[in-house]
Structure 1
Amino acid sequence: MENFHVKLYSKAVEFRKKGQIERDFEKKFNKKLDFSVEYCYHFITDEPEFLTKNWEKLESLLSHSPFEKTVWRESQFNLNDGKIIEIGPRTAVKTASCTNILSVFESCEIQNVKRIERGIRYLITEDVNLDDFFEVAADKMTEEIYPTNVKFEDKIHSIENVFLIDVLASKQNLIDANVQLGLALDEFDLDFYYDFFVNKVKKNPTDVELFDLAQSDSEHSRHWFFRGEIWIDGQKREHSLMKTIRNSLDHSNDNSLIAFCDNSSSIRGFERVWRLIPSDPSTVSPLISNPSPSHLIYSAETHNFPTAVCPFQGATTGTGGRIRDIHATGRGAYEIAGTVGYSFGNLNIPGLSLPWEDNSFVYPTSISEPTKIAIEASNGASDYGNKFGEPVICGFARSFGQRLENGERCEYLKPIMFSGGIGAIDEDEIHKEKCSPHQKLVKIGGPVYRIGVGGGAASSVSVQGNRDNHLDFAAVQRGDAEMGGKLHRVVRACAERIGGNPLMSIHDQGAGGNGNVIKELVEGCGVTVRSDTFQLGDESISLRELWTAEYQENDAALVDPSLLEALRTIAKREKCHVSVVGDVVEEQRVKLIGKEGEIAVDLDTRQLGEREKKVFHLKSVPRVLKKLELPNGLTVREALGRVLKLPTVASKRYLTCKVDRSVTGLVAQQQCIGPLHTPLADVAVVALSHFDTPEISFTSRPYIFSSNRLLILMFCDMIQ
């Protein structure tokens, strides 16, 4: 059937990047830039009269406001006024926005649309180099410059084949693969895997297996430093950092229900909490008030590497990943509210010279400058939370960058972004069921994209910015808050289902992708996974990418076969995809089989076993500090003015006034307080129920988180 490529043009009313692009271009290329912007919607349809039949609906849906129609069949740009450059999503990839828009079209009975993507058209009056403009205006990993006759039709893509690394012949081949694939394996890892493949399993690994093991066993995923043996100045530390922190559980008086074993931690809550739940989550049904024991959960993480490389997208997934940590606790839980923090160096804002800032600091090409992090990271986290529907009710911002007396440069690099969230879990959902044969292994959520490939290794590099740029950009994830909302509603509906929760065990997909999350789920059993059962967002995905890409907004779960249809019914109502990708088997072996029957992964998980602790030899470095010397003539007023200009102290309205702070109806206090709604509060309070106060039985401790305690939370997250 013939496909038709139809275009519609729209006014770029909400386009906020214009000023940032102009500033970045001038700073990078020392040249001023002036341009206008419009959107171009590309429709691929098999209906020749598509526009005529659906014009009124399209005009209403794509216009910025119902009171102003801003959609046209012809571009408003005049070619004689300058040069037109259009940048849009890569044509080989069906974007998350396309998936969401097609879902809306289906509800509006707009049919016969195979794909819709939105490009951004720039009318530039000056003569500029295409590559220079693309560098500052586009996302290098997900966008491209469109030619005039851009094609979106399906085409045969070149898919990278699975290949063997000949470790049996030489250890050097493993060392070379470590560099080429960006595995971030240290000498200890290289020795371990060389011995594993040569002496234990006596086979050459595929690129998929090696990439999988590198992500799953990375510092990011396994916390080798916190679990390791640490020597400081020749003295062995009595306990590992992990052991030291876990010792605190000995004094918890059984108040801790989940710790160091799941996506979040949990403490005892209340004996009876009245919560509104649907009587039947698979269809339209009355809400009922249901009393049940409810416990308190908290999850926190820093999202440093992705936010440093791509601040907006990195921060969206910092928020999204932490939300999925909440709902993937136990067999399914509920998020309530979030908190967020940002740490960055000196901002060096143009036109605002501050005496303590050093504008000579240079950053690696793959690391964003502090101003971009402060603006775009906060925009990304706020954007995700607003679209998802989670209020941010407290947080912090810290700025520091200084050259010390000994010449050492001291500046925030880790943490850059902190994301925390609070939620609740029903008592009967706290413990995950152990895997057993005949359970179904399912993937729930968004389709597979070439996004977040090698994130575990990238986040584990000791010095950020030392790798090839293409490896860093490939490892950054992209958030899709709409899909995140659908996925969360499916998990919540399963947990609230009166007839039994279909989810026996659930984990959110993070670093290492399918390879990591599936091995976690089937620990003690095995599974054979077929690649052709996954929903693909990009047909050119290789098996290595399918198995190890994070691609976000996705969970893996073990499902009771008798309740599989109930899960599918719930997911269909929420317009969220469910793929059954394997059956749990008794043999402790994980296999991945390609479309052509090739075996990309075949690992006996028992042979991997527990690895020895890594040993770290550290030396303490004394700080050479300089006595504070105040400038001559500095007045109290001038000193106070400097303090109030420091981002750590200055007004946080630029953070609080663009994010939801009270959605859900469960927020008792957030940052903005008093008659002027000023962001001064250092404590935020939430409720568990829309009804009366809960009956307190387990504990009477207040359910509060304070920005003064966030440093403790960040430290705890690093060892989870």
Structure 2
Amino acid sequence: MENFHLKFFADNPKSPKKLGDLEIPTEFCYHIITNQIDFYEVNKEKLDVLLSHSPFQKDSAIRKTSKFSKNVIEIGPRVAVKTAMCSNILSAFETAGIKNISRIERSIRYETTKNDLFELLADKMTEQIYDENVNFENNYKEIENFYEIDILSDKSALEKANLELGLALDNSDIEFYYDYFANKLGRNPTDVELFDLAQSDSEHSRHWFFRGNLKIDGKLVEGGSLMSKIRKTLDTSNKNSLIAFHDNSSSIKGFENVSRLRPNNPTTASSFDIHNSPSNLIYSAETHNFPTGVCPFQGATTGTGGRIRDIHSTGRGAYEIAASVGYSFGNLNIPGWLMEWEDEIEKRESYPKSLSEPLKIAIEASNGASDYGNKFGEPVICGFARSFGQRIGGERIEYVKPIMFSGGIGSIDDDEIEKKKCEPGMIVAKIGGPVYRIGVGGGAASSVDIQGKREDFLDFAAVQRGDAEMEQKMHRIVRGCAERNEGNPLLSIHDQGAGGNGNVIKELVEGCGVIVDSSEFILGDSSISLRELWTAEYQENDAALIDPQLIDIVQKIAKREKCHISLVGKVIEDQIIQLKGPQGNAVNLDTKQLGEREKKTFELETRAKKLVPLEIPKNLKLLDALNRVLRLPSVASKRYLTCKVDRSVTGLIAQQQCVGPLHTPLADVGIVALSHFEKVRDF
């Protein structure tokens, strides 16, 4: 049946687009692939309601002609990528009875004569410029196959691959993997295997520095690694820790009898009852520093999304309640508003090409975290903002790579605390969004000692892109499984982060092995390679071990929530990790033979700093000093943070960010409840 590419236009409520002093009129263009030539006429009324930004305004209706006749730059998602927006709109169309449509994508048209604005207007990793003949069909090809790195003939091939693929391996890593493949296995590695191991073995994932031996000025630090010192705090605690250092977040003992609403049957529409059961407290925090530095908005959204997945992937499934956020960045250098402690514009410090400047980070990172929380439905109830950049003793001290902190509190039922150990026959499932070429190599990218050294395309490829609606769907699947009265079909669950499937699936099947079939993954980008399928973070995604007898339960919940679930593999007894591609095994790793690596030793040196005593200008007046303090970002108004984020959704927030009758002063504490039915809780 023949498909037609139809274009419909609509007003953009954010028109015009402002770039400094330049204002550019914009409009939306919807590209629809359908086999119904009269699709517009048949569905116009529904399209006006579903696609217009305001169904109550006649002038915002969908139209068949553009307002712009010439001088147009049109930017939209890459044609090979079926976006999250497409999936969500098609889901809504199906519910509304709109049929005969296979794809819909939205672009933005800019009326301007300037042709060099792509870098400013677009996300170059996920978008492209459209011409009049843009084609959303016939852009598909077979999944790109793997290839071997010939290290048996030339050991330097491993060093070359390290640079070209951005693996961030140090000399000890290269020696270790050369020995593993050349001497233990007697074969060449594939590009997928090397990329997999580089992410799984990165500082980001394995925390070599925290777990390693430290030598300061040639002397071994006593008392073990930094990690062992942190672990020792549990020995002196009041023994209320339930989970520490072996799950996605920590948990402490909560309360014996908490009243909460639970559905009688999470697989379908059902009544709710009040259940009284033990409930414990969980907290998780992470930083998304490197991605936020490269793409502030997307880096912060996915920092928030990743931490939310850490919360609900605790144990065998848990619940989010509220979040805290924090940002540390360098001097803002606001044009026309330089602070006395900032460098003059002509003396301003430079930033690596691939990292954003502090002002952009402060605005867009906070926008990203707030946007994701608002869309997902998680309130932010506390946080911080810090700015610093000075030369001290001639050395530049500044948050060049920013800190984006995301923390969250939640709860977990007492019987969901422990993940089940893997056993042969268990099903490996992927829950969440489809496979996209985003978040590729994030583990290695975050582990580079100095950002800005790598090729720009490697840094941009490593940044994930967020979809809060998909995460909410996935969250409801996890929650539905955990709330099931007859038992949780999820035996173990981990969120997918840096390293992608190669990291998260190995975590799930530790002590066993797994055979994974690449053809079972749902692709959002048909041009994906096996390396990207196996190691990219993609969309919001979890991996889980499922009881084979309860597969249908999980699939029913997933169908109800309109969320993807793919049964991609099965646990085996032998400790072998296999990824089957169209032309053979792209990954075939013997994890038992790979073994545990020795601790790394890090040589550190103390460096004396010549600090100059603080000198306060003699002519500095009290009001001038006060004015400086009040303009410091850590002290100044936080309305740019508090006024754009939901602070009370869920109904479990007892104290949000602000206090007082006008909610102007910041609170010094955030308080949440575990139940909608109780006001007081005794500790």
**Length-normalised TM-score, structure 2:** 0.97
Match for residue 43 of structure 1? 32
Match for residue 375 of structure 1? 363
Match for residue 343 of structure 1? 328
Q: Which amino acid in structure 2 is aligned with residue 499 of structure 1?
A: E
Deviation at 1:624, TM superposition (A): 2.3
Deviations 1:99-141 (A, max 9, x none): 11111111111111111111010001xx42x3x3101111010
Deviations 1:578-634 (A, max 9, x none): 1101111111111001124x1100011101111000110001122322222223422
Match for residue 6 of structure 2? 6
Alignment of 1:483-498 (within 5 A): 483-498=470-485
Looking at structure 2, the residues matched to 327 and 495 of structure 1 have their Cα atoms a distance apart, in angstroms, of: 10
Looking at structure 2, the residues matched to 595 and 114 of structure 1 have their Cα atoms a distance apart, in angstroms, of: 26
Alignment of 1:176-215 (within 5 A): 176-215=160-199
Looking at structure 1, the residues matched to 484 and 618 of structure 2 have their Cα atoms a distance apart, in angstroms, of: 70
Looking at structure 2, the residues matched to 305 and 271 of structure 1 have their Cα atoms a distance apart, in angstroms, of: 41
- Helix, strand or coil at the partner of 1:683: coil
Match for residue 654 of structure 2? 668
The answer on whether the counterparts of 2:330 and 2:402 sit within 8 Å (CA) in structure 1 is no
Match for residue 127 of structure 2? 143
Looking at structure 2, the residues matched to 73 and 606 of structure 1 have their Cα atoms a distance apart, in angstroms, of: 62
Q: Which amino acid in structure 1 is aligned with residue 194 of structure 2?
A: L
Match for residue 221 of structure 2? 237
Deviation at 1:195, TM superposition (A): 1.1
RMSD: 1.3
- Helix, strand or coil at the partner of 1:298: strand
The structure-2 alpha-carbon separation of the partners of 1:679 and 1:3, relative to structure 1 and needing over 3 Å to count, comes to farther
Looking at structure 1, the residues matched to 265 and 452 of structure 2 have their Cα atoms a distance apart, in angstroms, of: 51
Match for residue 232 of structure 2? 247
Answering whether residue 546 of structure 2 is matched by residue 562 of structure 1, we say no
Q: Which amino acid in structure 2 is aligned with residue 294 of structure 1?
A: S
Looking at structure 2, the residues matched to 156 and 249 of structure 1 have their Cα atoms a distance apart, in angstroms, of: 54
Match for residue 105 of structure 1? 93
Aligned with 1:152 (options 136, 140, 153): 136
Answering whether residue 428 of structure 2 is matched by residue 441 of structure 1, we say yes
The answer on whether the counterparts of 1:272 and 1:695 sit within 8 Å (CA) in structure 2 is no
- Helix, strand or coil at the partner of 1:330: coil
Match for residue 269 of structure 1? 254
Looking at structure 2, the residues matched to 186 and 35 of structure 1 have their Cα atoms a distance apart, in angstroms, of: 48
The answer on whether the counterparts of 1:274 and 1:694 sit within 8 Å (CA) in structure 2 is no
The answer on whether the counterparts of 1:40 and 1:120 sit within 8 Å (CA) in structure 2 is yes
- Helix, strand or coil at the partner of 1:620: coil
Match for residue 161 of structure 1? 145
- Provide runs of 4+ in structure 1 moved above 4 Å: 693-696
Looking at structure 1, the residues matched to 326 and 65 of structure 2 have their Cα atoms a distance apart, in angstroms, of: 42
Answering whether residue 42 of structure 2 is matched by residue 53 of structure 1, we say yes
The structure-2 alpha-carbon separation of the partners of 1:695 and 1:371, relative to structure 1 and needing over 3 Å to count, comes to closer
Aligned with 2:304 (options 289, 314, 319): 319
The answer on whether the counterparts of 2:489 and 2:553 sit within 8 Å (CA) in structure 1 is yes
Aligned with 1:552 (options 533, 539, 555): 539
Deviation at 1:682, TM superposition (A): 1.5
Deviation at 1:76, TM superposition (A): 4.5
Match for residue 63 of structure 2? 73
Alignment of 1:464-503 (within 5 A): 464-503=451-490
The structure-2 alpha-carbon separation of the partners of 1:34 and 1:15, relative to structure 1 and needing over 3 Å to count, comes to closer
Match for residue 648 of structure 1? 634
The answer on whether the counterparts of 2:241 and 2:252 sit within 8 Å (CA) in structure 1 is yes
Answering whether residue 525 of structure 2 is matched by residue 541 of structure 1, we say no
Looking at structure 2, the residues matched to 170 and 113 of structure 1 have their Cα atoms a distance apart, in angstroms, of: 52
Alignment of 1:300-315 (within 5 A): 300-315=285-300
Q: Which amino acid in structure 2 is aligned with residue 182 of structure 1?
A: G
Alignment of 1:115-126 (within 5 A): 115-124=103-112
Q: Which amino acid in structure 1 is aligned with residue 13 of structure 2?
A: V
Match for residue 673 of structure 2? 687
The answer on whether the counterparts of 1:77 and 1:123 sit within 8 Å (CA) in structure 2 is no
Looking at structure 2, the residues matched to 618 and 110 of structure 1 have their Cα atoms a distance apart, in angstroms, of: 64
The structure-2 alpha-carbon separation of the partners of 1:503 and 1:216, relative to structure 1 and needing over 3 Å to count, comes to same
Deviation at 1:183, TM superposition (A): 0.2
The structure-2 alpha-carbon separation of the partners of 1:71 and 1:258, relative to structure 1 and needing over 3 Å to count, comes to same
Looking at structure 1, the residues matched to 631 and 64 of structure 2 have their Cα atoms a distance apart, in angstroms, of: 48
Deviation at 1:75, TM superposition (A): 4.2
Looking at structure 2, the residues matched to 580 and 158 of structure 1 have their Cα atoms a distance apart, in angstroms, of: 21
Deviation at 1:48, TM superposition (A): 1.1
Q: Which amino acid in structure 1 is aligned with residue 217 of structure 2?
A: D
Looking at structure 1, the residues matched to 665 and 53 of structure 2 have their Cα atoms a distance apart, in angstroms, of: 31
Looking at structure 2, the residues matched to 34 and 393 of structure 1 have their Cα atoms a distance apart, in angstroms, of: 35
Looking at structure 1, the residues matched to 443 and 385 of structure 2 have their Cα atoms a distance apart, in angstroms, of: 26
Match for residue 401 of structure 1? 389
The answer on whether the counterparts of 2:74 and 2:130 sit within 8 Å (CA) in structure 1 is yes
The answer on whether the counterparts of 1:317 and 1:552 sit within 8 Å (CA) in structure 2 is no
- Helix, strand or coil at the partner of 1:148: coil
Looking at structure 2, the residues matched to 371 and 497 of structure 1 have their Cα atoms a distance apart, in angstroms, of: 47
- Helix, strand or coil at the partner of 1:557: strand
- Helix, strand or coil at the partner of 2:677: coil
The answer on whether the counterparts of 2:15 and 2:25 sit within 8 Å (CA) in structure 1 is no
685-694 or 570-579: which moved more?
685-694
Looking at structure 2, the residues matched to 695 and 676 of structure 1 have their Cα atoms a distance apart, in angstroms, of: 28
Looking at structure 2, the residues matched to 250 and 592 of structure 1 have their Cα atoms a distance apart, in angstroms, of: 41
Q: Which amino acid in structure 1 is aligned with residue 99 of structure 2?
A: Q
The answer on whether the counterparts of 2:145 and 2:582 sit within 8 Å (CA) in structure 1 is no
Q: Which amino acid in structure 2 is aligned with residue 4 of structure 1?
A: F
Deviation at 1:77, TM superposition (A): 3.0
Answering whether residue 514 of structure 2 is matched by residue 518 of structure 1, we say no
Looking at structure 1, the residues matched to 15 and 250 of structure 2 have their Cα atoms a distance apart, in angstroms, of: 40
The answer on whether the counterparts of 1:304 and 1:413 sit within 8 Å (CA) in structure 2 is no
Aligned with 2:644 (options 629, 646, 658): 658
Alignment of 1:567-578 (within 5 A): 567-578=554-565
The answer on whether the counterparts of 1:509 and 1:552 sit within 8 Å (CA) in structure 2 is no
Deviations 1:345-385 (A, max 9, x none): 11111221211112411111110011110111111111100
The answer on whether the counterparts of 1:271 and 1:695 sit within 8 Å (CA) in structure 2 is no
Match for residue 361 of structure 1? 349
Q: Which amino acid in structure 1 is aligned with residue 67 of structure 2?
A: F
Match for residue 713 of structure 1? none
Aligned with 2:204 (options 212, 220, 236): 220
Q: Which runs of 5+ in 1 are unaligned?
A: 24-31, 701-720
59-68 or 220-229: which moved more?
59-68
Looking at structure 2, the residues matched to 638 and 497 of structure 1 have their Cα atoms a distance apart, in angstroms, of: 62
Looking at structure 2, the residues matched to 117 and 587 of structure 1 have their Cα atoms a distance apart, in angstroms, of: 45
Q: Which amino acid in structure 2 is aligned with residue 466 of structure 1?
A: K
Q: Which amino acid in structure 2 is aligned with residue 79 of structure 1?
A: S
- Helix, strand or coil at the partner of 2:117: helix
**Identity value in percent:** 67
Looking at structure 1, the residues matched to 519 and 292 of structure 2 have their Cα atoms a distance apart, in angstroms, of: 33
The count of corresponding residues between Structure 1 and Structure 2 is 678
Looking at structure 1, the residues matched to 382 and 539 of structure 2 have their Cα atoms a distance apart, in angstroms, of: 25
Match for residue 448 of structure 2? 461
- Helix, strand or coil at the partner of 1:630: coil
The answer on whether the counterparts of 2:15 and 2:24 sit within 8 Å (CA) in structure 1 is no
The answer on whether the counterparts of 2:10 and 2:29 sit within 8 Å (CA) in structure 1 is yes
The answer on whether the counterparts of 1:272 and 1:694 sit within 8 Å (CA) in structure 2 is no
Q: Which runs of 5+ in 2 are unaligned?
A: none
